[in-house]
Amino acid sequence: MSGPVTQNDRITNLDTVRGIATLCILIMNAVMYGIGDVSYYKLDALGTNNVIDWIVGIFGEIFIDQKAMAIFSMLFGAGIVLFADRAAAKGKRHIPLSLWRNFLLLVIGGFHAWLWEGDILRIYAICAPILLLLRKQKPKFLLLLGGGMFALAILIGIATQLTISDPVNELGAGYWIEGGAMSDAVGLWFISNIGLRSLGAMLIGVALYRIGFMSGEKEKSLYTRTAIWGLGLGIPLATTGVIWQAAANYKTDIAIVGQLPNDAATMPMALAFISLITLWDKKPTTPLHTRIRSVGQMALTNYLTQTIIGVTVFSTIFERGELGRGAVAIFIILVWALQLIWSQAWLTNFRFGPSEWMWRCMTYRKLQPIKRQNPKK
pLDDT score at 10: 63
* Residue 242 confidence (pLDDT) above 80: yes
Q: Which of 302, 333, 364 is nearest to 15 (CA)?
A: 302
Q: Is 250 left (phi over 0), alpha (psi -120 to 50) or beta?
A: left
Say which range, 121-135, 164-178, 230-244, 316-330, has the weakest mean pLDDT: 164-178
pLDDT score at 265: 97
pLDDT score at 377: 57
User: Cβ contacts of residue 51 below 8 Å, gap of 6+?
Assistant: none
- pLDDT bin (cut points 50, 70, 90) of residue 1 is very low
Task: Please say whether the beta carbons of 127 and 81 come within 8 A.
Answer: no
- pLDDT bin (cut points 50, 70, 90) of residue 374 is confident
- pLDDT bin (cut points 50, 70, 90) of residue 9 is low
For 78, other C-beta atoms within 10 Å of its C-beta total 26
For 6, other C-beta atoms within 10 Å of its C-beta total 8
pLDDT score at 4: 47
Say which range, 12-26, 167-181, 263-277, has the weakest mean pLDDT: 167-181
Task: Please say whether the beta carbons of 246 and 43 come within 8 A.
Answer: yes
Model confidence over 163-182: pLDDT tens digits?
Answer: 888 887 888 777 888 777 78
Q: For residues 44 and 11, what is the distance between their CA atoms, to the nearest angstrom?
A: 41
Task: Please say whether the beta carbons of 70 and 267 come within 8 A.
Answer: yes
- pLDDT bin (cut points 50, 70, 90) of residue 126 is very high
* Residue 365 confidence (pLDDT) above 90: yes
Task: Please say whether the beta carbons of 321 and 35 come within 8 A.
Answer: yes
Instruction: Name the more confident of 138 and 4.
Output: 138
Q: Which of 263, 307, 262 is nearest to 32 (CA)?
A: 307
Q: What is the mean pLDDT of residues 251-263?
A: 92
Give the residues across from 371 on adjacent strands: 350
Q: For residues 162 and 170, what is the distance between their CA atoms, to the nearest angstrom?
A: 12
Burial pattern 258-294, b for ≥16 Cβ within 10 A else e, equals bbbbbbbbbbbbbbbbbbbbbebbeeeeeeebbbbbb
pLDDT score at 222: 97
Model confidence over 78-89: pLDDT tens digits?
Answer: 999 999 998 888
Q: In 3-state terms, what secondary structure has residue 171?
A: strand
Residue 126's identity, in one-letter code, is: I
- What one-character DSSP code corresponds to residue 180? S
Q: What is the mean pLDDT of residues 368-377?
A: 81
pLDDT score at 2: 38
Number of helices (H), then strands (E), in the chain: 14, 0
pLDDT score at 271: 98
Q: What is the mean pLDDT of residues 233-258?
A: 94
pTM, to two decimals = 0.94
* Residue 338 confidence (pLDDT) above 60: yes
Q: What is the mean pLDDT of residues 247-261?
A: 92
- pLDDT bin (cut points 50, 70, 90) of residue 329 is very high
pLDDT score at 373: 80
Domain residues of the chain, as ranges? 7-364
Model confidence over 25-75: pLDDT tens digits?
Answer: 999 999 999 999 889 999 998 899 999 999 999 999 999 999 999 999 999
pLDDT score at 252: 87
Residues in the chain: 377
Mean pLDDT of the chain: 93
